Structure 1
Amino acid sequence: MAADIQFSPGELSRGATFYVAGHRGLVGSAIKRRLQAAGFDAIIGRTSSELDLRSRDDVFAFFAETKPRYVVLAAAKVGGILANSTYPVAFLSDNLRIQLNVLDAAQENDVERLLFLGSSCIYPKFAPQPIREDALLTGHLEPTNDAYAIAKIAGILQVQAVRRQYGLPWISAMPTNLYGPNDNFSPKGSHVLPALIRRYLEAAATQAESVTNWGTGTPRREFLHVDDLADACLHLLEHYDGPQQLNVGSGTDVTIREVANTIAAVVDYKGETRWDTTKPDGTPQKLLDVSKLAEAGWTSKITLQEGIERTVSWYRDHIVSLRE
């Protein structure tokens, strides 16, 4: 209900120091682009080699030196089913340390507005669809990414705790499956959509007779272009102030098979698509209820077809410089 949404903050100062943690990643780079387009002229960021966010002393020193007024925490260790299943310790430990260090340093240095970004994987595996914000902590998580999810849940709770104890208007947003420029297209670390883009482009280039994808192709997923997310983030920073995390998505979902067929058509792949049903599907469906986001005044604009076409074009232009 609209009464549950709390509005107020107002326009952010375009000249204030704005720290985007993870400014070179998929999400952080999109947020930086959106802020620049909106006229922010004091955006700061540090690469992981310049500032290891897992180092508490270094993070506190950085905040003490730069004194940002606004912060978006988009830095995280992320990956697909394979990476999450293989390295759960790193996904839990690294993300907990990043969050604790940044949020604690931000609180100590009186950061006025902070947006913590999580993921839709925080919700129970069998949450009623579409998933409402109040489904959090009501059931078991998807085992293939539970370590990452627990870390993100801890971040949400820390933001809520800061609001209660210090009265700071910090907020959290939980995006659905994201894709777009600066995504991870590596075979071992990518999420499903960039993995499919790379697979079909390579198959088209070599004229392979078939492409084999994991699972059955039947799970349903919601996808959001990262430029849409960045637009939503700025909107929420200026128009939302409440303790509850807000879902950010398109409000529609498709099967993995449909995504694969769309990508195959976009890259003009003529071969056969096969499905390895010995591999895991993950959560059967993950569609977010974005009604509260709509009440806060924002809806997505980039269609999946358009977003895939733009991402394929970007990948082709940057393939020589992408990480493996």
Structure 2
Amino acid sequence: MEKEAKIFVAGHRGMVGSAIVRALTKEGYRNIITRTSQELDLRDQSAVAYFFTLEKPTHVFLAAAKVGGIIANNTYRADFIYDNIAIQTNIIHQSHIHKVEKLLFLGSSCIYPKHAPQPLKEDYLLTGTLEPTNEPYAIAKIAGIKMCEAYRSQYGCDFISAMPTNLYGINDNYHPQNSHVLPALIRRFHEAKAQNLPEVIIWGTGAPLREFLFADDLGEACLFLMKNYSALEFINVGVGEDLSIRDLAHLIRTIVGYEGKLIFDTEKPDGTPRKLMDVSKLHALGWRHKVDLHQGIELAYQDFLLKYTN
């Protein structure tokens, strides 16, 4: 990808998209095209077609998506499947029509079966049933993977897919109901500390194991893959290590400085028991994450304090 390449980052204001923009800028790419959702509704087929006709990008990072935590996924099931399928269908198809040189589609680790062997190898896709609470979102992302495969097979398009593990970092969503577990805990502990609450209630048993990748590491991984990977098969992006939600909660509590008790509400769902990515394929290519979890949570908390408490 030449430095003067015309690069469209779909979803540039989100946590992942903004990390990709930072990675591109850091590497000297300046011809970056962006649109807010108010400027361009990516669910609108004709609007997306006009955008590609007008701008003619040579490379596309497809980071735009409707995302959320377990509550949001289970509550807005129709929105999650419709919005995501519409967004990725429009962008992938127009990238083919307008002969985009390369496209990177971003999915999620939730594409894997709920009870798949651990760690999750790329080969495990479609070998079992999905986690029910986020099935619509997962199906949409699987459709995106299969679209990239199909356009590569039929038309020779250089479209690749990357499946990141659980993400957190700069520009994360800290909504009290719709956010993912790590940012939700940052907000919950911060508010409990500010209000001198004696305890914080956490959904589930605390036993599920999760892997977390700092978003800026993912941004750099996306740029690395755009320059170094071209294959039909999608590729996992993660750190290759996990920890329990209970241990995560204690770590965040320490970083935030909250001294109250943790209460685990075992009546609430745990979700998938474990989601650890096998990242041996990515490591073999020469890429590894740089930011460890403690450092990353500190950076995320500083970002939260800057944006949500002023």
- Return the TM-score normalized by structure 2: 0.99
How many angstroms does 1:301 deviate by? 1.0
Query: 1:133·1:245 contact (CA, 8 Å) conserved in 2?
Result: yes
Using the TM superposition, give the Cα deviation of residue 268 of structure 1 relative to its aligned residue in structure 2, in angstroms.
0.8
What secondary structure is seen at the aligned counterpart in 1 of 2:100?
coil
Equivalent of residue 248 in structure 1, options 234, 237, 252: 237
Kindly indicate whether residue 244 of structure 2 is the aligned counterpart of residue 218 of structure 1.
no
Q: Give SS of 2:236's match.
A: strand
Q: Distance in 2 between matches of 1:224 and 1:17?
A: 28
| Selected match of 1:71 from 28, 51, 60 | 60
* Structure 2: gaps spanning 5 or more residues: none
1:232 aligns with 2:221: yes
Q: What are the residue-to-residue correspondences of 1:125-136 with 2, within 5 Å?
A: 125-136=114-125
Question: Which blocks of at least 5 consecutive residues in structure 1 are unaligned?
Answer: 1-11
Distance 2:20 2:178 in 1: 22
Q: Distance in 1 between matches of 2:129 and 2:153?
A: 27
2:10 aligned to which of 10, 21, 33: 21
1:288 and 2:302 matched = no
The residue aligned with 2:193 is 204
Give the secondary-structure state (helix, strand or coil) at the position aligned to 1:275.
strand
Q: Return the match for 2:306 from 313, 317, 320.
A: 317
For residue 317 of structure 1, give the secondary structure of its aligned residue in structure 2. Answer: helix
Q: Which residue of 2 aligns with 1:140?
A: 129
- Give 1:194 shift: 0.2
Residues 1:112 and 2:101 aligned together:
yes
Partner of 1:298: 287
- Cα pair 1:236 1:296 within 8 Å, conserved: no
Q: Distance in 2 between matches of 1:223 and 1:33?
A: 20
Matched letter for residue 122 of structure 1: I
Displacement of 1:16 in angstroms is 1.3
Q: Partner of 2:90 in structure 1?
A: 101
Q: Shift in Å at residue 320 of structure 1?
A: 4.6
CA distance in 1 between counterparts of 2:225 and 2:69 reads 27
Q: Distance in 2 between matches of 1:306 and 1:183?
A: 16
1:88-115 deviations in whole A, cap 9, x for unaligned? 1010011010011011111100000100
1:222–1:81 distance in 2 versus 1, CA, 3 Å:
same
Q: Deviations over 1:202-222 (max 9, x none)?
A: 111111100000000000000
- 1:85 aligned onto 2:74: yes
Aligned partner of 2:153 in structure 1 is: 164
One-letter amino acid of the structure 2 residue matched with residue 50 of structure 1: E
**Misfit runs of 4+, over 3 Å:** none
Q: Deviations over 1:230-261 (max 9, x none)?
A: 11001111111111110000000000011100
- Measured on the aligned residues, the alpha-carbon RMSD in Å equals 0.7
Matched, 1:121 2:144: no
1:258 maps to 2:227: no
Look up the match of 1:184: 173
SS at match of 1:178: strand
TM-score, structure 1 normalization: 0.95
- For residues 257 and 137 of structure 2, the distance between their equivalents in structure 1, rounded to whole angstroms, comes to 35
Q: Distance in 2 between matches of 1:103 and 1:218?
A: 38
CA distance in 1, matches of 2:302, 2:173: 15
